[in-house]
Amino acid sequence: MLKKTDFYIDGKWVAPEVAKDFEVINPANETPFATISLGSEADIDLAVAAARRAFESYSQTSREERVALLEKLLEVYDRRAGEMAEAISHEMGAPISMANHSQAAAGSGHLRATLKALKNFEFEHDFNDAGERIVQEPVGVCGLITPWNWPMNQIALKVAPALAVGCTVILKPSEIAPMSGILFAEMIDEAGFPAGVFNLVNGEGAVVGEAMSRHPDIDMMSFTGSTRAGSAVTKAAADTVKRVTLELGGKSPNIVFDDADLSKAVKTGVLHCFNNTGQSCNAPTRMLVQRDVYDNAVEIAAEVGQKVQVGDPSEEGRHIGPLVSSMQFDKVQGLIETAIGEGARVVVGGAGRPEGLNRGYYVRPTIFADVNNDMTIAREEVFGPVLCMIPFDTEEEAIGIANDTPYGLAAYVQSGSPERANRVARRLRAGMVQINGAQRAAGSPFGGYKQSGNGREGGTYGLEDFLEVKAVSGYQATA
């Protein structure tokens, strides 16, 4: 049993002000494998004070100094990437192959993209030849709250740009999957960042997250998680009028037109939906298929879905693992049962665990056909390996169904006509649209419309979220 009950505050590992042990559960076997401590408002006060002190000097460092620190962090991260993958696999159930190639790799990928953006970023420029200088400066002390589903992806997307532009931070990773965040703090320490620049306090959202959100000496909150929790962060932050950026839920449409490469489009859509056991906010969970190829698409989806394997995350392979927790397991099972009760047709899977697995938070990869967009399964974010298939007749109807959601994170379009694909992509109310399986580029802005949040993460856009804009009139260049 690992014991990691200290917090990283002001460049040191320190005991919590009041000990409150919390067991971290391995979702593959439902047994604890580590103990952390849950923090309190007093711990946040110490972390914020350290970050505020450090900001005075760190905010004045040069681009070159910050590049050197981030390059050292990347070097340490790459050397310890195997440890990171193991931590993620144990804490949230990602199969070790995926943990290595996707989960842990996301951290180094975002560090590299941030470094590239930082080296080319224009922090100052003259405005309109009017003797005015526009200066972009770090926003200040930042509270960062990250989720359990892609822990290093989200930590890197927040910590790296904040530190890159000269902010100081307090990180609260998910208490369900905290081990990767603790390991990241060890890497920060090894890389030699000044004391107080990065701080980590574990804890519950209702306690530590709340204390961060309303703290008067935190200038900005960056949150990734559920829409409900993001709303709570925003409300708690309102009295101090701090900046709040949010990356929240999704119910992303995947529109398959009758001129698409049907076999490829459906197979890719199913596997993408089930990736990470469906625990991705941008998963294409609503497959909208043009009616004249709908029955064929359902048959293809069934064939693909039946081949998806579920298994032990400690084993190499392309299988999917368990859900992260008993709470998530119960939620997904409940939504599957609700869908059946509302008349959705089970094509693959259904309620219960996969055959041969009676322990661990494993669920059956499930595909529903004959869904309409008013059903619960088409409206609520499941966050499990559950796909619903919805028929449509016309392009206009497809766009209407796709946009008929409170979310707007991602959308996907499959068509053999570039003109139609481009036309539809422009009308979809989503922050990211991918056509015919095209992948997002490194440093591309990640974020959404509507209740999927505000702000953008990644590359140059990620740097801008952590900057204030200052206009200096009467500015005169000096030697």
Give the other-Cβ count within 10 Å of 356's Cβ.
Answer: 8
Question: What Å distances lie between residue 433 and 79, 241, 277, 427, CA to CA?
Answer: 34, 32, 22, 10
d(CA 222, CA 465): 9
**pLDDT in the model for residue 445:** 97
Q: Which residues are known catalytic residues? A: 247, 281
Residue 307 has pLDDT above 90, yes or no: yes
pTM above 0.95, yes or no: yes
The amino acid at 309: Q
**pLDDT in the model for residue 80:** 98
Closest by CA position to 90, among listed 407, 368, 324, 437: 324
Average pLDDT, stretch 75-90?
A: 98
| Mean pLDDT over the full length of the chain | 97
Residue 130 has pLDDT above 90, yes or no: no
pLDDT band at 479 (very low <50, low <70, confident <90, very high): low
The pair of three-digit structure tokens given for residue 272, joined into one six-digit string? 């993408």
pLDDT tens digits, 252-283: 999 999 999 999 999 999 999 999 999 999 99
d(CA 456, CA 113): 14
pLDDT tens digits, 188-236: 999 999 999 999 999 999 999 999 999 999 999 999 999 999 999 999 9
Is residue 408 within 8 A of residue 249, CB to CB? The reply is: no
Average pLDDT, stretch 121-144?
A: 93
Q: Phi and psi of 473, rounded to 5°? A: -85, 145
SS3 324: coil
d(CA 322, CA 133): 54
Can you say how many angstroms the Cα of residue 344 is from the centroid of all Cα atoms in its chain? 29
Average pLDDT, stretch 389-395?
A: 98
